[in-house]
Amino acid sequence: MFKKQKSLIINDTDNHYQLRRCAMLVKLNTFKVLAECGSYTEAAKRLFCSQPSVSQQIKYLEKHYQSKLVIRKNNGIELTEKGILLKAQTEQLLKLYEEMERTMASAGLIQQPVALYMSHYIAENYYGELFDARYPCCQQCPWEINGHCYKELRKNLIEKKTKFAIMPIYPADKQIQQSYKIQPLFEEELYLVFSSEHALAKRKLIYAKDLQNLPVLLTQSVYLQDLVKQALKEKGVAVFYMQMTDFKIIKKALEQNTGVSFIPKKALDLNDASLVCHSIKGMRIVRENGLVIDPSQELSPSEQAYCRHITEKLSS
């Protein structure tokens, strides 16, 4: 019995040591980024974390090496002699680490994929912008897509099942707004959509008042519902609402001339003559989409690479 317990203690110690080594790589990478950009604020942006998180990691390194590494100045930072030495050593170490990862991956060993949590809508309609075998980050590390509705994405973030998610951004969701770092990616207008057989299909100009007493089809997302309802309320338009699962179901209902809805163009097949996409004179409903990051969890280098890739592709 004593031997088994001792063995367990040794294994736990080994695991703890391995975790500390992984955490040290993350901290050294943070120091490298800070040294390159010369600003805590800019380093936090590049690393998709909070500025206090960057500061804490630098303080840890200074305590670990018992030396001052960074001097804050009004126009940025300056590295001490020890800081310059650590920067050079860190660059070599991380370069060797990246080469090792590529070598091991090419040797056919299984590499842990990056878990990407995103809305069904973004996964389906922006796949080409997000994933391509030609992109460097896609070549270096595999990924797995976890598509969810807004409610589930929110739950996964709060329960810390994911470190970040690509999802709609709603100002009304105060918990997400206040507790998470949000990197805006792109915004899109929700257009009025209805059947080509609908009476509105004959109109060249459509005003908000033309929707009076019409059935408006909405998804199950409470926040998206509020976005549409608020826009119509501001115009003084009285309609009645019908709730459906998602845009796919709504489009099928629209084809049957059930009512009208507000849908982003990206979710529509513009070659489909059965549906009409129209703007409303004097009214716009805009939804923002972004990268929501948990500032309490450190992103791995692979996760940081995907976040940079996603920001670059979707922001453009």
Structural domains in the chain, sorted by start: 2-109 (1.10.10.10), 187-288 (3.40.190.10)
Evaluate if residue 181 carries a pLDDT over 80: yes
As a whole number of angstroms, the distance between CA 305 and CA 291 comes to: 13
Mean pLDDT, residues 41-53:
87
The span from the CA of 135 to the CA of 147, in Å, is 21
pLDDT of 5 over the 50 cut: no
d(CA 314, CA 316): 5
Query: How large is the average pLDDT for residues 12-30?
Result: 68
Structure tokens at 230: 């608020």
- Measured CA to CA, the distance from residue 205 to residue 278 in angstroms comes to 9
Dihedral pair phi/psi, residue 22, rounded to 5°:
-65, -40
Cβ neighbours of 213 (radius 10 Å):
8
The DSSP line for 139-207 is HHS-EEEEEE-HHHHHHHHHTTS-SEEEEEE-TT-HHHHHHSEEEEEEEEEEEEEEETTSGGGG-SS-B
More confident residue, 79 or 49: 79
Amino acid 177: pLDDT: 94
Report the pLDDT value the prediction gives residue 10, as an integer from 0 to 100: 34
**What pLDDT does residue 19 have?**
53
For the chain, the C-alpha Rg in angstroms (whole number) is: 25
What pLDDT digit, counting tens, does each position of 155-170 carry? 999 999 999 999 999 9
Task: Write the secondary structure of 38-94 as one string of H (helix), E (strand) and C (coil).
Answer: CCHHHHHHHHCCCHHHHHHHHHHHHHHHCCCCEEEECCEEEECHHHHHHHHHHHHHH
Nearest to 200 by CA among 277, 253, 144, 272: 277
If DSSP codes are grouped into helix, strand and coil, which group holds residue 117?
A: strand
- The DSSP 8-state label assigned to residue 211 in this structure reads G
pLDDT tens track for 114-132: 889 999 999 988 887 777 6
Tokens of 296: 């309490």
The average pLDDT across 222-245 equals: 95
Give the whole-angstrom CA distance, residue 168 versus residue 222.
12
Check pLDDT > 50 for residue 133.
Answer: yes
Q: Using 50, 70 and 90 to split pLDDT, how confident is the model at 290?
A: very high
pLDDT at 234 over 90: yes
Q: CA–CA separation, 16 vs 69, rounded Å?
A: 26
Burial of 50 (0-12, 13-18, 19+ CB in 10 A): middle
Residue 142 neighbours by CB under 8 Å, 6+ apart: 111, 113, 114
Q: What is the identity of the amino acid at 2?
A: F
User: What's the mean per-residue pLDDT of the chain?
Assistant: 86
User: What is the sign of the dihedral through the CA atoms of 36, 40, 41 and 45?
Assistant: positive
Contact between 123 and 145 (Cβ < 8 Å): yes
What CA–CA distances, in Å, run from 146 to 162, 215, 268? 10, 33, 22
Q: Mean pLDDT, to the nearest integer, of 73-85?
A: 90
Q: Is residue 223 within 8 Å of 172, Cβ to Cβ? A: yes
